[in-house]
Structures are given as structure tokens and as C-alpha cells.
Chains A and B, each alone.
Chain A
Amino acid sequence: MHFTIMQAILVGLWAAFCYSGQLWGIYTNRALFISFGIGLILGDLKTAVIFGATAELAFMGFGVGPGGSTPPNPLGPGVVGTILAISVAKLSPAAALALSYPFAIIVPVFMNIVSTLNASNMGWAKTAIEGGHYQRFKFIANIQLYCYAIFAFVLAFTATVSTNALRDFVNAIPQWLIQGFSVAGELLPAVGFALIMSTMLKKEYIPAIVLGYIGVAYLKMPVIGLTFLGIALALNNYYQKQKHAKNNDDASEQDGGAEDGI
């Protein structure tokens, strides 16, 4: 499979748009969405979307790192992993995820460099405003956006034009190691799930966890069914809580009455 320069440019533009969405807060920088566009451009939507979904679940909790650290970023696997999944025959989504994982680690390194280089932004902006250079201020106010877009374009363009090299590289890896990557790729989603639980989980949510487990492990429910199950539990909790709060109010009123009596 060989991709044209035109395709590489389109993939680059798509990646630049998706990654800019991280700054805009519009959720385009998720693996599922990135893979969709790349699959469309490279002509294998099905493989791309299945890989994207695999990476999406693995990166689910990666919005924020514990303690404010910059977590691995789905842009890397979203771009490179999708290209690998499409171009290398018989590569499982899990193996493609594991192989493209290093790119998830390069992205935050780049992000930290840019926001550090941009540290004098406030000073530049002040000088521009006080000097009346309002056009220059506009440029300064978008500088991080430009850097992000250029970085994503270069990454995605380079990855697409070097598909053959990437494929040769992957094909040169011995079969036992590829199998090892597959196993590792299937273990990796545990990080995403555990991470999201570590930020959300409180004792009162344990019933939700158990219910979700029962739904899948014993009842083999599809995910929409699970959602309804969750809604039932959530509404039940909500109404119980309201009832509880109301009872408490009544009880405290009675207490007040008794005290008045004394």
C-alpha cells in the first residue's frame, strides 16, 4: 500500500485540526475521532475506526494526570497507530496500539517545551498592547495554537509519507515480539480504566462498579443496556437522597418542637 503526497497533506491537516481541538476544548483530539478522519483519507475506514476505538478506551482517563502531570497524549497513537493498523497486514489493534505508544509519550514532551518557550507570552503581549501593535497582539494570543497545529501537521505528514519505512520496521520485528506487543497492548487499557476510577471513585459508587461488572460478566449486556442500568441506579440514589433529606428536615423540626416543650 502506498499513499500519495496529497493524502499525506490531508492527514497532516486533519491531525492539525484535531490537535488544535485540545486547546479549543472541542474533543477532536480523542483517538476515536482522529482515527476516523485518517481512515477516511487513507481509504480503510473500518480498520481505522476499530483501532481508534481500541486506543480511545485505552486513553479514556488521560485528560488529566495525577498531580497535574502531563499524561501521554492520544494524538501519537491516533495518527501513527491508525497508519500502522491500515498499512501492516494482520496487525492486531492491540499490537498497533503498543507499537505506537512511544508517540503518545513524545507529544507531552513537545507540549511542555512549547509552553515553557512561551513563558514570556504575557510580557510580549504587554509590550505589543502598550505600543499599540494590536495585530501583533493577535498573533501573540494565538501562538500556542500555531505551534500545536504545525507540530501535529509535521508528525502526521511525516508518518504518512514514511509508511513504507514504518511497515518495513514493523515487519522486521520477530513474531514472538509482536505477540508480546499484542499481549502488552491488551493489558494497557487497564491504565486508562484505573486512572478514570482513581479520579471518580468514592465509596458510594461501589454499587455502580459491581452492577457494571455483573451486567457484562454474567448478563452479557451491550453498552447501551449498561447505560440504562446505570441510569436506574443513579435515579434511585437521587430519589433516596431527596427522601432522606426530607425525613431529616421533618425530624429536626420535631426535635425543635420537643425542645420548645421543655
Chain B
Amino acid sequence: MAFDVDTSTVKLPEKPVLTRRDYINTTLRSYYLQNAGNVSNLQGTGMLYSIWPAIRKIFKNDDDFKKVAVTNLEFFNTNPQPYPFVSSIVLAMYDNGASIEDTRAVKLALMGPLAGIGDSLSQFGLAPVFSSIFASLALQGMVAAPIFFFLCLFGITFGVRCLMGYLGFKVGTSMIDTLSDRMSAITEVASTVGLTVIAGLAVSFVKVNLAWQYSQVIKGKTQLVTVQSILDKIMPFMLPVLLVYFVYWLITKKHWTMYRIVILLFVAGILLSVLGVLKP
């Protein structure tokens, strides 16, 4: 236990007091999860804040309420999108008379798997796909693209939160396994689509233009030939591909931090431009 709080004397409710409204309210309050983020209990304070009105309703006795509240302050860290699954289960367990200790065990057990599911869905699945699609639409002159970008991501993740809040209320912890299986299929589909788009955009968006050129005499006429045009004939976007691969290699094999890589590219870009190797 985070603090030595004796919860064995807490009076558990005899029959459920929460209504559907309380679960919906708590699911909406999931947006508060990270409002008190800090290095010691991460989302702990926010976790308590999200379930605050509901547990006040369950634990009528003020001393009991304080004890339950304080036990929920302990370290908590998961992905905020599927988090309502946890809050709903915690509330359902309290409300149906499960002990404070049992509920805590379930809550802590869910933290890891949900973080994995949520991260793979939102950070590696949804965000890159939508940001590459709408950023490239914006570059083509569609000024409303940012709004659609926001509506898509917010809409989908809001749907995920509602669904998770409902599932947490409806079913027990066994659900998390089947959810994991189903999610891995969805993640694979999302990753494949995402990487196809990202690979395409990476080569066209990263620009490495050689400034070198030489003159050539063809049939008595002098022509300027750029080295870049020759490279493009061999393999279009050859240098951007190599650059992305080089940075990928620095990250995965050399374990460079992003700051080092950014500084390297900055210095390289300016130097190569000054030396007349690259042009914008």
C-alpha cells in the first residue's frame, strides 16, 4: 500500500448505488487523468480525481471515503485512451462490495497491458497515419485539413474511451486477454497502412538536393548537367532514402539521442550548404 492506511474497517456498500450516469461521468473525467502529472506518482492523483465524485457516492462515511481516496493516490501510469476500462472496473468492484485490496490488485494488474494496447493504437497506429495524410493534404493547399485531422483523432479516441468505459463496466478482467488478441490484429493492419504511407512520404518529403553540376559538350553545344538529375535517373529519391536509413541506423544501432541527431543534421545541413554541396 502506498501509505499505511488500514482499509479493513472500511464499510463496503451493501447494494450498488452507482447509476449509468456515474459511469458516463467518470469516463468523461478520464480527460483529467494527467492533469497532476509528476515524477513520483505519475497519474496517481489524476486517477483519484477522475473517480472522485463516484467514490464519494459509494462511501457515505467521510472517514471511509478519505481512506479509499488516499489509497487511490498511489503510483499509476497507463495510456489515457483505454484508461476508462480501469476506472469503470474499479467503480464496479467497489460498488458491488469487492474489498479495497482486491480492487487495488485488479487496478494495478490492468495498468501495464492497457498501456501497451493504448500506445500501439494511439501513438504508433492512429497518430502517424492521420498526421501524414492530413499534413500532405494541407501541403496541397487544403487549409481545413488541420480541422479534419483533429476531428478524426479526437472522434476516434473519444469513441475508444466510451467503448472502454462500457466494457470495463460490463465485463470482468478476463476480457483483457481477448482484447489483446483482437488488438494485435488491428495494430498490424494499422501499422501496415501507416508504414506504407510513411515510407512514401518520407522519401518525397525529406529533401536532399545536390548542387553539383558540370558542363558537357554534346554535338558542339555546351549543356549544364546536374549530378542530381543523373541520380534521379538511377533511382528516384535515392539520397532521401539513404538519409532516412542513416538516421534510423543511428537510432536503432548506435542509440543516439534525438538531440544529438538533430544537432548533427543542423550542422551538416548548414556546412554542406555553405560548401556548395547541397542546395534547398
Residues of chain A at the chain B interface (Cβ within 8 Å): 23-28, 30, 32-33, 35-36, 39, 45-46, 49-50, 52-54, 56-57, 60-67, 69, 71-72, 92, 94-95, 98, 101, 105, 115-116, 118-122, 125-126, 129-130, 132, 137-138, 140-145, 176-177, 179-191, 193-201, 205, 208-213, 215-218, 221-224, 226-227, 229-231, 233-235, 237-238
Contact = CB atoms under 8 A, between A and B. Distances in A.
Interface of B: 2-3, 31-41, 44-46, 48-49, 62, 66, 69-70, 73-74, 80-81, 119, 122-124, 127-129, 131-141, 143, 145-147, 149-150, 153-154, 157, 185, 188-209, 235-237, 240-241, 243-248, 250-252, 255, 257-259, 261-262, 265-266, 268-274, 278-280
Q: Is the interface of B mostly helix, strand, loop or mixed?
A: helix
A177 B273 CA distance: 8
A190 B39 contact: no
B132 A223 contact: yes
A222 B272 CA distance: 31
A216 B172 CA distance: 47
B37 A118 contact: yes
Contact of A205 (B73, B195, B197, B241): B195
Contacts of A126: 3, 70, 73
Contact of B248 (A28, A197, A211): A197
B206 A187 contact: yes
B263 to A, nearest CB: 10
Contact of A234 (B35, B41, B143, B189): B189
A57 B135 contact: yes
A19 to B, nearest CB: 12
Contacts of A195: 247, 251, 258
A213 B40 contact: no
B123 A64 contact: yes
B138 A49 contact: yes
Given A54-B139, A141-B46, A212-B200, A27 B153 contact: yes
Contact of A121 (B32, B45, B235, B265): B45
Given A187-B206, A197-B248, A208-B199, A46 B141 contact: yes
| Central interface residue in B36, B122, B137, by most chain A CB within 10 Å | B36
Contacts of A50: 138-139
Given A45-B143, A92-B280, A122-B41, A187 B268 contact: yes
Nearest to B204: A216
Contacts of B265: 184, 187-188, 190-191
A176 B62 CA distance: 70
